[in-house]
Amino acid sequence: MTQSESPISTTNRESYDRWAELYDGYVNSTVAIDDLYFPPVYAHLSGLRVLDIGCGTGRHTIRLARAGNRVTGIDLSPGMLAVAREKLSSLDVALIEGDILTAPPPGPFDAVVTALVLEHINDPAVFFARVADLLTPGGGFYISEIHPDRIAGGTQANFVDRDGRAVKLQSFAHSEADIRATASQAGLRLLTHTDVFGGEALAGLNRDWIRHVGRAMIRIWTFEKPAGP
Ligand SMILES: C[S@@+](CC[C@H](N)C(=O)[O-])C[C@H]1O[C@@H](n2cnc3c(N)ncnc32)[C@H](O)[C@@H]1O
């Protein structure tokens, strides 16, 4: 555990360090559907200072940087960041090892993006407050997460390691009401929330995922830090 890290973050850092070498090649329907439907939501961001929270191996960071943004990625896991660093070596991206809850990077940012991280956040009130502090007035906050109904049903981030052992990450179920209330308390205004369902695009990637057709897989929220008082 580092000085500014909670025990939960330490456990997840160690698990993501183990997942890092496999992550980009890992067959995971949640990552696949996020990869199809989240990028269009932030595709208009260009020429901005953007923070990618829990950037992992840089799946979204690379898109944001190629769109001409000055991107900062923060992540707990040095293993995940090492993969990102290699992929992003030709781009002007700042990658920071740290816990967004206890050691946020210096801001401000015009937009904040986070994918598949909220489930690991034990204290959403602190999380949204950090984001609100870091955002410029008028800035947008874009979140993609495992759908709350799946999380309530027991779905959480997990993988099988090189030795065939199933590893579950530490996760927390946040209700829609909690997310809205804590974001609102932090001064963020909800603009949109969209449920993304499994369909032909997902099943076309892997026929096993036909079982997800018609199922709410992820939810995407967009928030704004209001520009005026
Ligand atoms: C499922 S991965 C998602 C990575 C990337 N956003 C993506 O969508 O491919 C979750 C990432 O969040 C990071 N993470 C979890 N809790 C964090 C925290 N409190 N602060 C910073 N990063 C965190 C983990 O280390 C991990 O890399």
> pLDDT tens across 71-113, in order?
999 999 999 999 999 999 999 899 999 999 999 999 999 999 9
116 and 172 in contact (C-beta within 8 Å)?
Answer: no
Tell me, what's the pLDDT at 228? 73
The terminus-to-terminus CA distance of the chain in angstroms comes to 40
Tell me, what's the pLDDT at 40? 98
Decide if pLDDT at 60 tops 90: yes
Q: What angle do CA 81, 155, 196 make, to 5 degrees?
A: 85
Site to probe by mutation for ligand 1, drawn from 33, 53, 120, 121 as the one with most ligand atoms within 8 Å of Cβ, is 120
Helix (H) or strand (E) holding 9: helix 7-23
Tokens of 92: 């002007």
**Nearest CA among 116, 109, 61 for reference residue 89:** 61
Q: Distance between CA atoms of 74 and 97, rounded to whole angstroms?
A: 6
Decide if pLDDT at 178 tops 90: yes
Tell me, what's the pLDDT at 7? 72
Kindly report which listed range (13-17, 173-177, 225-229) carries the lowest average pLDDT score: 225-229
Mean pLDDT of the chain: 94
CATH number of 7-224: 3.40.50.150
pTM of the model: 0.95
Å from CA of 36 to ligand 1 middle: 19
Tell me, what's the pLDDT at 4? 65
Q: Distance between CA atoms of 123 and 156, rounded to whole angstroms?
A: 17
Higher pLDDT among residues 27 and 229, named by residue:
27
- Nearest CA, atom 8, ligand 1: 115
Q: How far from the centroid of its chain's Cα atoms is residue 187's Cα? A: 20
Any atom of ligand 1 within 6 Å of the Cβ of 9: yes
**Nearest CA among 178, 212, 170 for reference residue 195:** 212
Any atom of ligand 1 within 6 Å of the Cβ of 59: yes
Asked if the bond preceding 226 is cis, omega within 30° of 0, the reply is no
What integer is the mean pLDDT of 38-61? 98
Query: What pLDDT band is residue 3 in, cutting at 50, 70 and 90?
Result: low
pLDDT in tens, 146-176: 999 999 888 888 898 888 889 899 899 999 9
- Nearest CA, atom 27, ligand 1: 56
Helix (H) or strand (E) holding 4: none
What integer is the mean pLDDT of 59-64? 98
Any atom of ligand 1 within 6 Å of the Cβ of 118: no
Site to probe by mutation for ligand 1, drawn from 4, 17, 76 as the one with most ligand atoms within 8 Å of Cβ, is 76
Site to probe by mutation for ligand 1, drawn from 85, 96, 117 as the one with most ligand atoms within 8 Å of Cβ, is 117
Decide if pLDDT at 229 tops 80: no
Q: Distance between CA atoms of 213 and 23, rounded to whole angstroms?
A: 24
Contact residues for 91 (Cβ-Cβ < 8 A; gap 6+): 62, 65, 66, 71
Boundaries of every domain in the chain: 7-224
Q: Which atom of ligand 1 is nearest to the CA of 157?
A: 1
Contact residues for 44 (Cβ-Cβ < 8 A; gap 6+): none
212 and 198 in contact (C-beta within 8 Å)?
Answer: yes
pLDDT in tens, 110-153: 999 999 999 999 999 999 999 999 999 999 999 999 999 999 88
Q: How far from the centroid of its chain's Cα atoms is residue 75's Cα? A: 10
